[in-house]
Chain A
Amino acid sequence: MTTSVDLTLLEPLLAQYNGRSRDALLPFLHDAQALYGWLPRPVQEAISRTLRVPLADIHGVVEFYTMFYNEPTAKRVIRVCDDMACRLAGSADFIEALETRLGLQSGQTSPNGSVTYERVPCLGMCEHGPNALRNDEPAGHLTPDDVNNFLVGAHPEPRIQKYGGPLLKLARAGKVIPWSLNDYEQHGGYATLRKALAQTPEEIITTLEASKILGRGGAMFPTGLKWRYTRSAPGTPAQKHLIANADESEPGTFKDRGLLEEDPFSLVEAMTIAAYAIGVENGWIFIRGEYPRGYRRLVTAVNLARRAGYLGQNILGKEGFNFDIEVRLGAGAYICGEETALFEAIEGKRGFPRIKPPFPTTHGLFQQPTAINNVETLAAAMSVLSIGLDEWLKLGTAESPGTKWFCLSGHVVRPGVYELPFGLTIRELIAMAGGVPDGKAIQAVLMGGAAGVFLPPDKLDVPLSYESAKANNFPLGSGVIMVFDETADLRHALYQLGHFFAHESCGKCFPCQLGTQRQLEILERIAHNGGPRPGDEAALQDIGFAMTKTSLCGLGQTAATAVLSAINIWPELVASEQ
């Protein structure tokens, strides 16, 4: 297809990015694509010259991220969630109606070039399923009757659904104007930073260690220890980094989105406190490409905070305390939530995870000491300082103090983010969410996320705490609790899990790139193309073993976990009748 490309459109960007280097590649590609709808050859060549990045490498990056396009693509892109939670909420009907109305299949652009249509993995809005993105505009609770309104942008944007209590980290979300620093301050914003600056960094880290906060993204590394390691790593604050990992992308995970969209200043303040404690000057927020609303609000919050002196030099008059934040937008790659893959993405490369060790606290972003924390982790650290260690320790259990965000989705009456102290049982939490609609029975619960495990209904009386999770062999992970009622098709759910990991495997190590594909093929046939065959279970077990034990990073190491747990509980799902 020959298309004439007006390069004069690009000139302001070429001037803006002149002198920048490879780490500006992702934002440059985003900005250029906003002009053209895709990335034509001469545009990529101009970017290559400006940033002095080899053309082949540009190609590698564009090809890696699903939201960058090498081929003519409409400026209006419709992305519909085709993942588990939305399916449970009835997305199949909406998708059918939408595809009929558009006359397009996933990946196609309309003949007049006005719209491109894609089915995509989880958009992180499971409480609003079925959901979709119309360019930057999110839409939820979509029914077949909503197709026309959605396509013209007249469908209302969903708001945060928060429940539980005490709401510490989510105290302000939904109550404040997300783009008003003034409003944030009037709701207690920046009081905690002032409190923190009255303490020494050592005092804050000691408090954090006593709070027993573990990383809330799923890896459960002790936060205080991570901060201490980074603080004591060689290098000046100007040579160190703090990153907020806002790339939550695991199917069923939407816990951080509420804060990012509805209370972005909280993250900016929490990062500033962390920066002071750790001794870093460079802050980064990496937010997934499917959260455009959160991205816009974070950029606004950072700019307003900087203008007000909450970011920059000698913050709040604290001599020598300098810190600033750059917000980076991902472009469609679950793997970039893996910390080292995220570094690669910021550095303008394909999001391939790195070999560890060395670890980020000494060799992170740009090979410099880096503390990378999940959004909720940073919010939790700020909560400890805000309410005080004693109050924090009164919440939850002895080994798991404080609160946690749980993402309830699937067959519950009130899906949403639940901020709760550790210790409630899964069944209590489901009851709090109104139980299963229409009084149906629970068939299964997916715990922790796509990389988690299934639990059968008779295992739901276990408490939600780190010690209970360990004793009962389920991960809290990213806080996902996805409920499947008695009518749900678990074989289809396993197929969706398989599809997700095959789609998101980066392709670096053999067991994951090959195993996710072979696993998908078997699960697809079992669910939709003839059912189980003899040898399927053994094959899935071997593939799962190879991925779990030999993959390079956490994605591959957990890509079979949920599938294997389901086979263990319900062998008939994959057993052949022959």
Chain B
Amino acid sequence: MNKTVTLTIDDREITVPAGTTILEAAQELGIEIPVICYHPHLTANGLCRVCSVETGGRVQAAACVTHCSNGMTVQTNNDAVQRGRRTILEMLAATVNLEEAPQILALLAQYGADAERFAGGERREAPIHDDNPFYIRDYNQCVNCWRCVQVCAEDAQYAFALNFEGRGFHTQIATFLNDPMPDTTCVFCGQCVGVCPTGALKPKRQALLEQGFSPDEVFEQTRRGQRKKHTVS
């Protein structure tokens, strides 16, 4: 099975093995398609849609999950594509805190997105979860890329400590009934922190250093320090 397909991306022809995504084929040509949720080592779910490109269809195609096909003509950055990306980024900027998401901030600048366009609308807010010595969860910075949920489940760890609550705009990452992490099946492998693109998940040591604690104080609070006692209310 060495089947290949030939397509055109931004007026350049390329032949790739069948099953190659548009994102991968474009990369081979040196054409960068922006992504937010996509991570090369995780299952692509086509969530953020900023990788959407025109392929001549009724709707645009998410490059991270759309396979190349013979004769396909792809436009990765025309006006329609840019309009979609810009609008998604503007809506996202009005929803969560992107201060620690430099890649997304760079996209906002690149696409001329006005971060204040939808200011005043509802933001997706949540209390900060500081419930274990290893990492802090601040879902005010969470864009719902699902990476943490995926590495916690079948994409890596099979711990299944994380899932969702709410629906639509109000969807957030959550544990069972919002239990503190030590009361869940979390094994503190740290993979969720490693794949988080926005600083919503942060090593506790880093957070404390950023807050101005000295390394000794940080050590007290994380390694040797008292683990917080949790009582179920």
Contact A514/B177 with A59-B165, A355-B46, A507-B169 known, Cβ cut-off 8 Å: no
Neighbour of B164 across the interface among A64, A505, A516, A546, CB < 8 A: A64
Among A333, A507, A521, A548, contact of B121 (Cβ-Cβ < 8 Å): A521
* Stretch from B86-94, B188-196, B206-214 forming part of the interface with A: B86-94
Leading 7 A-B pairs by shortest Cβ distance: A507-B171, A54-B160, A60-B163, A505-B168, A517-B169, A55-B176, A514-B91
**Chain B residues whose C-beta falls within 8 Å of the C-beta of A521 in the assembled complex:** 118, 121-122
B164/A63 in contact, CB under 8 A: yes
Please list 15 pairs of residues, one from A and one from B, whose beta carbons are closer than 8 Å in the complex, sorted by A's number. Answer: A56-B163, A56-B176, A56-B185, A63-B167, A333-B167, A502-B168, A509-B48, A510-B88, A510-B144, A513-B168, A521-B118, A539-B117, A539-B118, A545-B87, A549-B52
- Complex alpha-carbon distance, A509 and B61, angstroms: 13
Q: Are A549 and B117 neighbours in the complex by a CB distance under 8 Å?
A: no
Q: Does B84 contact A (CB under 8 A)?
A: yes
Chain B residue nearest to A1 (CB atoms) is B233
Residues in chain B near residue A539, CB distance under 8 A: 117-118
Cβ contact within 8 Å between A59 and B166: no
A494-518, CB under 8 A of B: which get 1 and which 0? Answer: 0000000011111111111111111
Within 8 Å of chain A (Cβ to Cβ): is B15? no
Interface check A340, CB cutoff 8 A: no
Smallest CB gap from B52: residue in A: A550
Mark contacts of B132-148 with chain A using CB atoms, 8 A cut-off: 1 yes-contact digit, 0 otherwise: 00000000000110000
A517–B162 CB distance below 8 A: no
Residue B221, interface by CB 8 Å: no
In Å, the complex CA distance between A510 and B98 comes to 15
Q: What B residues does A502 contact at CB under 8 A?
A: 168-169
Whether the Cβ atoms of B164 and A509 lie closer than 8 Å is: no
Given contacts A514-B91, A552-B46, A63 and B166 within 8 Å (CB-CB)? yes
Given A54-B153, A507-B164; 16 other pairs, CB 8 A cutoff: A56-B161, A58-B176, A59-B165, A59-B176, A64-B164, A502-B169, A507-B167, A507-B171, A514-B95, A516-B168, A517-B95, A521-B121, A543-B87, A550-B59, A550-B62, A550-B88
Chain B nearest Cβ from A208, distance in angstroms: 26
A61 to chain B, nearest CB (A): 8
Collect the chain B residues with CB atoms within 8 Å of residue A515's CB: 87, 91
Q: A41 contacts the other chain (Cβ, under 8 Å)?
A: yes
Contact between A549 and B168, CB atoms less than 8 A apart = no
Interface size class of B (residues with CB under 8 A): 35 or more
CB distance from A10 to the nearest CB of B (A): 18
Contacts of B168 in A (CB 8 A): 502-507, 512-513, 516-517
CA A491 – CA B23 in complex, angstroms? 41
Asked if B174 is at the interface (CB within 8 A of a chain A CB), the reply is yes
Residues of B within 8 A of A517 (CB): 95, 121-122, 168-169
Judged by a CB distance under 8 angstroms, whether A241 is at the interface is no
Minimal beta-carbon separation of B126 from chain A (angstroms): 14
CB pair A54 B185 closer than 8 Å: yes
Residues of chain B lying within 8 A (CB to CB) of residue A66 = 167
Q: Min CB distance, B121 to chain A, in Å?
A: 5
In the assembled complex, A350 has its CB within 8 A of some CB on chain B: yes
CA A512 to CA B47, docked complex, whole Å: 10
Complex contact A518–B83 (CB within 8 A): no
Complex Cα gap A551–B50 (Å):
10
Contact B169 A514 (CB under 8 A): yes
**Chain B nearest CB: distance from A355 CB in Å?**
5
Contact B163 A548 (CB under 8 A): no
Is there a chain A Cβ closer than 8 Å to B80's Cβ? Answer: yes
Q: Which residue of B lies closest to A517 (CB)?
A: B169
**CB <8 Å contact, A64 and B167:** yes
Contact B84 A41 (CB under 8 A): no
Contact status A355-B87, CB under 8 Å: no
CB A83 to nearest CB in B, in angstroms, measures 17
A518:B163 contact, CB within 8 angstroms: no
Across the interface, do B164 and A350 meet the contact criterion of CB distance under 8 Å?
yes
Determine whether the beta carbon of B84 is less than 8 Å from that of A70. Answer: no
The residues of B with any CB-CB pair to A shorter than 8 Å are 36-37, 45-50, 52, 59-60, 62, 65, 80, 83-84, 86-88, 90-92, 94-95, 117-118, 121-122, 143-144, 153, 160-171, 174-177, 184-185
Taking CB atoms, residues of chain B closer than 8 Å to A41 are 177
Could you say which of A55, A505, A510, A543 contacts B48, with CB atoms under 8 Å apart? Answer: A510
Query: A residues bordering B, Cβ < 8 Å?
Result: 41, 44, 54-60, 63-64, 66, 70, 333, 350, 355, 502-518, 521, 539, 542-543, 545-546, 548-552, 557
Also in contact, A59 and B163, with CB within 8 A (given A545-B83, A549-B60, A550-B88)? yes
- Residue numbers in B under 8 Å from A333 (CB-CB): 167
Known A63-B164, A350-B164, A507-B169; contact A70-B185, beta-carbon cutoff 8 A: no
Inter-subunit contact B49/A551 (CB<8 Å): yes
Give CA–CA (A451, B48) in the complex, Å: 22
CB pair A510–B50 under 8 Å, yes or no, is yes
Query: How many angstroms between the C-alpha atoms of A191 and B87 in the bound complex?
Result: 56
CB distance A550 to B184 under 8 Å? Answer: no
- For residue B59, which residues in chain A have a CB less than 8 angstroms away from its CB? 548-551, 557
Q: How far is the CA of A44 from the CA of B143 in the complex (A)?
A: 28
CB pair A506–B49 under 8 Å, yes or no, is no
CB distance from B95 to the nearest CB of A (A): 6
A residues in contact with B164, CB < 8 Å: 60, 63-64, 350, 507
- Asked whether, in the complex, the Cβ of A518 is within 8 Å of the Cβ of B46, the reply is no
Which one, B94, B160, B170, contacts A56 given CB within 8 A? B160
Tell me if A549 and B84 are in contact (CB < 8 A).
yes
Taking CB atoms, residues of chain B closer than 8 Å to A64 are 164, 167
Check if B169 sits within 8 Å of A513, measured CB to CB: yes
B121 lies within 8 A of A355 (CB):
no
Contact yes or no, A56 B184, CB < 8 A: yes
* Distance between A56 CB and nearest chain B CB, rounded to angstroms: 4
CA distance A44 to B178 in the complex (A): 14
Q: Of all chain B residues, which has the CB nearest A543?
A: B87
Contact B167 A514, beta carbon cutoff 8 Å:
no
Query: Which chain A residues lie closer than 8 Å to B45 at the CB level?
Result: 355, 508
Q: How far is the CA of A424 from the CA of B176 in the complex (A)?
A: 54
A300 to chain B, nearest CB (A): 32
Q: Contacting A59 at CB < 8 Å: which of B62, B169, B174, B185?
A: B174
Say how far B210's CB is from chain A's closest CB, in angstroms. 28
